[in-house]
Amino acid sequence: MSTDSEGGDGATDPLPKGEIFEVLRNQRRRYVLHYLKQDDRPVELGDLAQQVAAWEYETTLEDVTPEQRKRVYTTLQQTHLPRMDEAGILTFDSDDGVIAGTDRTRDISVYLEIVPSHEFAWRELYLSLGAISCALVAALWLEIYPLTLLSALTWTGIVAVTITATAVAHIYHERHMRLGHGEQPPELSFRTDD
């Protein structure tokens, strides 16, 4: 690892968010990180290339063609792994072709918000809930019928339960959209759920 900065106590400095986003804006690099976060052991470049190619070409490990594997292997070896090693996200020994995670690999928490055309983005859902809550407060303050059939405390409870249930659903969804969670990277897991 070439640029990993260490403090006097041996702790690795956190990687700036901009650097993380720059390195991980490439899908192949995200696949590498997902693979390393699944299993905390060093991996050989050939095995990594085989799995990344399977994800990339949406096929099984056994059905990856030699050409597909070679294409992925070459770009991992020449471009992606050296860049990730330079950032300290992993270590890559080009002599023996072994890739290993670092503290930064474990510390990087990447959430991919993939929003299909038929689904709300979470931020839009929360904005909608906030707007509805404000409208409800205004309607209760103006004593608009039929909202006055329930007490303000009951409406407050309904709003609190709705927001809490939405937050629980969001947390559950977010955990399944993190690199390193599940068999496939989040981008592929989402596609198979369509």
Domain that holds residue 33: 17-110
Does 45 fall in a domain?
yes
pLDDT at 114: 47
Give yes or no: residues 79 and 133 share one domain.
no
Q: Is 40 helix (H, G, I), strand (E, B) or coil?
A: coil
The strand ranges marked E within the chain are 43-44, 90-93, 98-101
What is the tally of structural domains in the chain? 2
Does 86 fall in a domain?
yes
Q: Place 181 in a pLDDT band, splitting at 50, 70 and 90.
A: low
Does 90 fall in a domain?
yes
Contact between residue 57 and residue 68 where contact means Cβ atoms under 8 Å apart: yes
105 pLDDT above the threshold of 50: yes
Q: Place 99 in a pLDDT band, splitting at 50, 70 and 90.
A: very high
> Using CA atoms, how far apart are residues 36 and 43, in angstroms rounded to an integer?
8
Does 115 fall in a domain?
no
Give yes or no: residues 46 and 127 share one domain.
no
Residue 43 class from Cβ within 10 Å (0-12 exposed, 13-18 middle, 19+ buried)?
A: buried
Beta-bridged to residue 99, according to DSSP, are: 43, 92
Give yes or no: residues 85 and 128 share one domain.
no
CB neighbours of residue 9 within 10 Å: 5
Contact between residue 86 and residue 4 where contact means Cβ atoms under 8 Å apart: no
49 pLDDT above the threshold of 80: yes
94 pLDDT above the threshold of 70: yes
- Rounded to an integer, the average pLDDT of 153-180 is 83
Does 40 fall in a domain?
yes
Give yes or no: residues 48 and 83 share one domain.
yes
Give yes or no: residues 78 and 141 share one domain.
no
- Rounded to an integer, the average pLDDT of 149-174 is 88
